[in-house]
Structure 1
């Protein structure tokens, strides 16, 4: 009995002490933590990182710029791997100021960066992406430390901002020259064997899906109408596809220079090359066809993400030129498709998005623009796969088409 009383007294003492402990505040989300830290220092370094060299160099380059520069250095985690593009947007929304926003992440001593230049309202100039594409030395910058690529991004932003010429890159920031990488015979044999499998596996599925999408009566969804929206011009899509093809190649060049690549990284490399090869096939094979050029854009964007170590998401089924299809939605006789946030909101309200509009013949001499998914999937692999939104075999189907197989 005495022992039980002692235990009860000890428990009461503990309970009496607990309320006196201060309540621990919830950990702020990563964008909030970075934005708060930027009020004191616009170069944010995550506490989990090892000491980073040349931070003073980054701060000096940022201080010399004619615009604000915000830099965040982070470890590559599942969150930053999947949300790195959105993270730049979220950070700008929290800060609310124009300037250059750079988010650099590291994994296994390999750095990659995502940057965006936000101009003051009404101020126009060259796009940062275009300056980077024209910078022939950009792809040769070392990636074992972040300072060289961040400093170059600031210089490129200055060129985009006011047209000043780019300075030369110091030799110490460049990779030593080496022979261009190529695929081994084994790689080519494996790729050939892989693309030869299942040539007709999706033919029945594509036809069934097309019939389902065309049979819209009784679904309770509003039908897309010809005349809603305007088709994107082929010329504009060509520019976007070319930009992403160049960005994907630049990311792959950096990845090829990386030493000690793991099996996982090698798999990512092969997948990125597979998508980039298919993108170039579509871009060069039918350069004036909107569906082909859009397919090249989608595949090149996926190749760039894969080469950078980011998660590859399917495109938005309704409009593959939108952000990735990260939200599954039920549409058209309970068919589930991936959609971007904007299109997902419309579907949630019972409205079918206008989607990617393409021209279709109407009558003997006329034509009308319609959503791409209303075309016959037997005539185009982009329609059959929803640009890869319905099945992730678009690169392989493009390769089979190049070899003369359907």
Structure 2
């Protein structure tokens, strides 16, 4: 491992070269006073994972400008440069930890879902909203060692794979490190001390007026989302809203589409296969689009198709705020004029709402408006989070493409 007192690589290319030589890098500033011990723990876990695993806990290279998504961006970029199958985990000082699982027999979507569940369990036990980088990485590696649920498993995803004793140990370590290492993005999006002026120009809007009223009607059919009685109280600024890299999203969707096609080839006939095939058919033309909205839609459809093969009627709902965040696990209350509605959100966005913070919404242009303020099929459906099921989403998407 690179010693804490040796300058670490500060470009993507140099970081990839360093990881080829040593698969674990932890920079001293993110070790929270526990850098050496943290590196040792992570290295021991990496050695036990059943495939190659690369871990980088580093400050964001200057060339990377992806905001809260820089961890994901770096994980993807490193997986391409290193070009080896395995698990890539990247934690930076200003981003959500990025995970990529490439070229293994495990399903990446389900691994990410399980890792999110395990990290949430540890965070709840520690009484924090955001895990410190080294604890976050260790929890992800523990998920890998627990052999989480995948597409070939008969078990149902949804519960933590970590036993109580391990959760307690990780939570105790987190409480010890919290004063030292708090990801910078958790403060960057902190609520201002003064309340926001809730004029029409300042209010978070859900599409157009018609779209907002439709949203209220659609959400009456949502069931099973734990109540999250918190009203968003922040407005994004142009600086905060950074669009994803369309090439990276396209590459992930393309890989997922291939995996979905392979899974369909061996899946038994039935309603699950029919819906998954429908998702595949709808995603293929979207993947060729030059519109970032459509490419994101292709990725969401691929994830939904893989999900329905495993869970059947348990519909996949993407995070309404940013579908790239993955599956929604909670709901957040949204104020539209005099009406309050609830939208499905991922755990990270749910926590942001609960803490009075502005979650990182999906935008298609730097400094642009969140996608849900536009008048598109993706805004009206919330990338499927507001539709009845996968078939409903594909019908609306197909109708939109025909109308073009």
Q: Structure 2 length as normaliser, TM-score? A: 0.45
Question: Which structure's residues are more often strand, by fraction?
Answer: 1
Structure with max Cα Rg: 1
Relative to the length of structure 1, the TM-score reads: 0.45
